Chain A
């Protein structure tokens, strides 16, 4: 029980119960050379990774160096816009600014031949049927709306092919 004693002037007015305390950060993201190449590839309907000359892994999205070996990557590798869901989550909470209908599925999709996954959404399948190892393909925006932004891939959808065995992607989970 609250011991609060209000002054007379406040006893008959609606009390304040909560305050808004937004935290906001505005900044400019500079993609750098490698990620700029990747984003221009997306604008051209292509997924471009870069291979590490030391470990041979295909880095995606490329940052210009291998995060494992620390050496510069230079060989461009075009990957298909098909792959597998390595991990996913079902989103049940509405975020401000999101127009997505709940629930929806966010996933990491590993394109065939790549060694790192891309973040994306899974659609055209009920949320409770999405699974690890499911094979998917990208659904792109219309060609005249392609831009250097991963939003050019609207979502990924199941291809109907058999699921990949866990052993084939376990190092990517």
Chain B
């Protein structure tokens, strides 16, 4: 049988999950929707961003949310030369861990820098907010060089 006679068809498998977020992620996502980046303060004074419900070191329950600015520092990054469909940007970008100013931990997001030559560990970056915000991590459209 010739190859041309072999059938093929497009397939889609999709699981339309949704989940509840708990009190701390709720505050974080509500903050993003309102244009605020929040961290959470631990008992020993560190600030975790993104905030979590329990201290990863002491297991202590956390809840003191603090407002951070919209700038931070790239602590590590990886260049994405050929973005796939549904990735945050349709042009080459960097995946970056951003330590927000005033925080002690990193937030994984996307940096729109145009070229890997313009990305370096330690560089300052700023939030670019999405035009339409709905309470999701994508409310931060990306980071951009500050």
Interface SS of chain A: helix, strand, loop or mixed?
Answer: mixed
Contact assessment for B16 and A22 in the assembled complex, using a CB-CB cutoff below 8 Å: yes
Q: Interface residues of A toward B: which range?
A: 35 or more
Contact assessment for A13 and B34 in the assembled complex, using a CB-CB cutoff below 8 Å: yes
Docked pose: A36 CA to B20 CA in angstroms: 44
Contact assessment for B34 and A18 in the assembled complex, using a CB-CB cutoff below 8 Å: no
Docked pose: A113 CA to B100 CA in angstroms: 68
Contact assessment for B36 and A7 in the assembled complex, using a CB-CB cutoff below 8 Å: yes
Contact assessment for A22 and B11 in the assembled complex, using a CB-CB cutoff below 8 Å: no
Binary contact readout A135-156 vs B (1 if CB under 8 angstroms, 0 otherwise): 0000000000000110000000
Contact assessment for A18 and B65 in the assembled complex, using a CB-CB cutoff below 8 Å: no
User: Could you say which of A7, A9, A19, A36 has the most chain B C-beta atoms within 10 Å of its C-beta?
Assistant: A19
Contact assessment for A10 and B27 in the assembled complex, using a CB-CB cutoff below 8 Å: yes
Docked pose: A4 CA to B38 CA in angstroms: 12
Q: Within the complex, which residue of A2, A16, A28, A33 is in contact with B10, where a contact is CB–CB below 8 Å?
A: A28
- In this assembly, does A23 line the interface, its C-beta being within 8 Å of a C-beta of chain B? yes
| Known contacts A7-B66, A23-B15; A30 and B8 CB within 8 A of each other | yes
Contact assessment for B31 and A5 in the assembled complex, using a CB-CB cutoff below 8 Å: no
Q: Which residues of A contact B (CB under 8 A)?
A: 2-7, 9-10, 13-33, 35-37, 39-40, 96, 148-149
Not counting A4-B24, A24-B12, a sample of 16 additional A-B residue pairs whose C-beta atoms are within 8 angstroms of each other reads A4-B63, A5-B65, A7-B67, A9-B34, A10-B34, A13-B33, A17-B21, A18-B21, A19-B136, A20-B136, A21-B18, A25-B13, A27-B13, A29-B11, A32-B6, A33-B6
Q: Which residues of B contact A (CB under 8 A)?
A: 1, 5-21, 23-24, 26-27, 29-31, 33-34, 36, 38, 61-67, 86, 135-136
